[in-house]
C-alpha cells in the first residue's frame, strides 16, 4: 500500500517510527496503522447502468475515505448472481457488503446466518426515517432489520396512451373494463398484453397481481408465508385466468420465447396495448431520451375485480446486507449509509434508474408520470406485496415459475401446475 500525501503528520510520524521499529526487527511490510480497512462489496448487475452506478459509488467513496476504509467491488450479472451468492457467502473469505433479495430469499440468507442484524445501524443513522416505508417494513423480520433497500419498484399496467386514444378507450377501473379494453385491442389487431416470458419470471407479475386483486392480500400473504397451500382453489383459479388469457390469444405470439429486452421493439412499434411489468423497466422505456418515454405511455394499477381500491405491488428491487462474519461491520455500515445518502440516491436517478429508496432523493428530474408513480409508491405504505420469486425460497419459486410457464404453453393444467408447486414447497418447508 503506497503512502498517501493526505496522511496527517502525526500518523506519518507514528508510521515512520513503527516502520523503522518493525524493519529493525525483521524488515517486514509497511505498518498496520497505515493500511486502510479493506471492504468487499459484492453486487448484482442486471443492467449496464448498475455497474456504472456501483463504480460511481465506490470511486466517490474511495476518493473521500479510501485511506481509512477502502472498498473494492465485484459484480455478477443478474441470473448468475442467484447461484454465485450462496457460494460466495459461504466461502472462507465472504464479502462484507452484498446485494441481497427481499422476502423468502432474504429469509434464507438470514436463516443460514449470513446476514448481520442492522437494527443498531438503523438507529445510529436514522435510516428508517429516510427510507420509503414499504421498504423498511420489507427489511423487518421479527423485531430485527436485516437489509437496507437501495432501490424500490412497483408493478403496474403500462398502456399505450396513443393507442388508447385511437381506439377511444378509457383507463379501466375494474377487471371487466380491462378485459373489454383488451378485447377492443385484439379486434384492432393488437396484442392485448405483452408478456415476454422467456425467462419465466415475467408472467408471475401478472399472476400475483390478479390473485391479490381478486382474492385479497391476505390470501397472497398466506400462500407465500406457508399458511395456504399452493393447491388452494384460489391459486388454481388465478392460474386458470392466466391460462384463459393465453388461450384467448391475449398475449403476443411465441411469448414463451421472447425476452423482455427484445420485446421493447414491438412495444415501441405499437404492436401491443398493455404490458404488466415492473418499474425497473423505466430505464428501457426511457431509451436514449433524457426523460421517459420513447413512446407515449402511462400506467394504471392492476384493477381489482370487485371495484375496490386496487392493491399495488411495491417491492424492494435492490437490497443491501452486511455479512454476519464481516470483521468490519461498522465500516461497512458507514459505506451503506453513503449508498442511501441524498447525494448518492439523486445520482442513482441520473446514472441508473428509478426509484431510489430514499424519500430525500430529488425526483424533479423525472418525467411527470415517473414522479406520479414515485408518489403512488410512497403512499402505498406497507399495504403491498412482493412477487413470488422474491417472496419464496428459490426452489419453490423456480418450480412455480416453471409451472406457470407450462400452463401458458398448454403443457399442463392449472391444477397440475399448482400441485407440482405444492410438492416442491412440501419438500422445502414441509406440509402445512
Chain residues binding another protein by CB under 8 A are: 46-48, 74-80, 82-84, 86-92, 112, 198-200, 253-266, 394-395, 398, 402-403, 405-406, 409-412, 417, 420, 427
Q: What angle do CA 162, 163, 169 make, to 5 degrees?
A: 105
Q: At closest approach, how far in Å is the CB of 191 from another protein? A: 12
Using the minimum distance from each CB to another protein, give the nearer residue, 89 or 118.
Answer: 89
Nearest to 334 by CA among 67, 97, 106: 97
Using the minimum distance from each CB to another protein, give the nearer residue, 197 or 304.
Answer: 197
DSSP notation for 62-82:
HHHHTTTEEEEEEEE-HHHHH
Q: At closest approach, how far in Å is the CB of 23 from another protein? A: 30
**Residue 99 to residues 105, 124, 142, 210, 410: CA-CA distances in angstroms?**
11, 21, 21, 29, 36
Q: At closest approach, how far in Å is the CB of 240 from another protein? A: 16
- Cβ-contact 299, 161 below 8 angstroms: no
Using the minimum distance from each CB to another protein, give the nearer residue, 161 or 199.
Answer: 199
Using the minimum distance from each CB to another protein, give the nearer residue, 35 or 90.
Answer: 90
The DSSP element (H or E) to which 84 belongs, if any, is: helix 78-90
- Cβ-contact 315, 138 below 8 angstroms: yes
Using the minimum distance from each CB to another protein, give the nearer residue, 140 or 420.
Answer: 420
Q: At closest approach, how far in Å is the CB of 270 from another protein? A: 14
Q: At closest approach, how far in Å is the CB of 80 from another protein? A: 7
Please measure the distance between the N-terminal and C-terminal CA atoms of the chain and give it in whole angstroms: 56
Using the minimum distance from each CB to another protein, give the nearer residue, 75 or 174.
Answer: 75
Q: At closest approach, how far in Å is the CB of 358 from another protein? A: 25
Nearest to 412 by CA among 258, 238, 240, 256: 240
Please give the grid coordinates belonging to residue 123: 438507529
- Cβ-contact 162, 296 below 8 angstroms: yes
Amino acid at each position: 500500500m503506497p503512502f498517501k500525501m493526505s496522511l496527517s503528520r502525526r500518523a506519518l510520524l507514528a508510521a515512520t517510527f513503527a516502520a523503522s521499529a518493525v524493519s529493525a526487527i525483521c524488515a517486514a511490510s509497511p505498518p498496520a496503522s497505515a493500511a486502510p480497512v479493506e471492504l468487499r462489496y459484492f453486487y448484482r448487475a442486471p443492467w449496464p447502468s448498475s455497474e456504472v452506478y456501483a463504480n460511481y459509488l465506490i470511486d466517490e467513496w474511495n476518493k473521500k475515505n479510501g485511506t481509512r476504509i477502502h472498498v473494492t467491488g465485484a459484480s455478477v450479472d443478474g441470473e448468475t448472481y442467484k447461484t454465485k451468492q450462496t457460494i460466495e457467502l459461504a466461502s472462507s473469505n465472504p464479502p462484507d457488503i452484498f446485494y441481497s433479495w427481499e422476502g423468502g430469499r432474504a429469509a434464507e440468507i438470514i436463516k443460514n446466518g449470513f446476514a448481520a442484524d442492522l437494527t443498531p445501524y438503523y438507529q445510529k443513522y436514522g435510516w428508517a426515517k429516510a427510507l420509503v416505508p414499504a421498504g423498511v417494513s420489507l427489511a423487518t423480520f421479527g423485531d430485527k432489520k436485516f437489509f437496507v433497500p437501495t432501490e424500490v419498484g412497483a408493478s403496474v399496467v403500462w398502456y399505450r396512451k396513443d393507442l388508447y386514444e385511437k381506439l377511444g378507450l378509457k383507463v379501466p377501473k375494474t377487471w371487466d373494463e380491462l378485459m373489454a379494453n383488451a378485447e377492443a385491442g385484439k379486434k384492432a389487431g393488437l396484442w392485448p398484453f405483452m408478456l415476454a416470458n422467456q425467462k419465466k419470471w415475467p408472467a408471475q407479475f401478472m399472476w400475483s397481481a390478479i390473485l391479490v386483486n381478486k382474492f385479497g392480500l391476505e390470501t397472497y400473504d398466506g400462500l407465500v408465508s406457508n399458511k395456504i397451500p399452493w393447491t388452494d382453489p384460489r391459486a388454481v383459479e388465478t392460474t386458470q385466468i392466466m391460462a384463459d388469457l393465453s388461450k384467448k390469444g391475449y398475449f403476443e405470439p411465441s411469448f414463451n420465447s421472447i425476452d423482455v429486452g427484445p420485446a421493447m421493439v414491438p412495444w415501441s412499434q405499437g404492436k401491443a396495448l398493455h404490458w404488466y411489468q415492473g418499474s425497473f423497466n423505466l430505464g428501457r422505456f426511457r431509451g436514449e431520451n433524457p426523460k421517459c418515454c420513447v413512446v407515449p405511455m402511462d400506467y394504471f394499477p392492476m384493477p381489482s375485480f370487485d371495484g375496490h381500491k386496487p392493491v399495488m405491488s411495491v417491492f424492494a428491487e435492490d437490497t443491501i446486507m452486511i455479512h454476519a462474519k464481516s470483521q468490519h461491520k461498522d465500516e461497512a455500515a458507514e459505506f451503506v449509509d453513503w449508498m442511501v445518502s441524498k447525494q448518492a440516491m439523486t445520482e442513482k436517478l441520473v446514472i441508473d434508474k428509478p426509484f431510489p429508496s430514499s424519500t430525500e432523493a430529488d425526483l424533479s428530474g423525472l418525467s411527470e408520470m415517473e414522479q406520479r408513480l414515485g408518489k403512488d409508491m410512497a403512499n402505498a405504505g406497507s399495504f403491498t406485496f412482493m412477487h413470488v420469486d422474491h417472496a419464496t425460497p428459490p426452489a419453490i419459486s423456480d418450480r412455480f415459475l416453471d409451472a406457470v410457464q407450462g400452463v401458458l404453453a398448454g403443457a399442463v393444467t392449472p391444477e397440475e401446475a399448482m400441485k407440482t408447486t405444492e410438492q416442491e414447497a412440501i419438500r422445502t418447508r414441509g406440509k402445512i
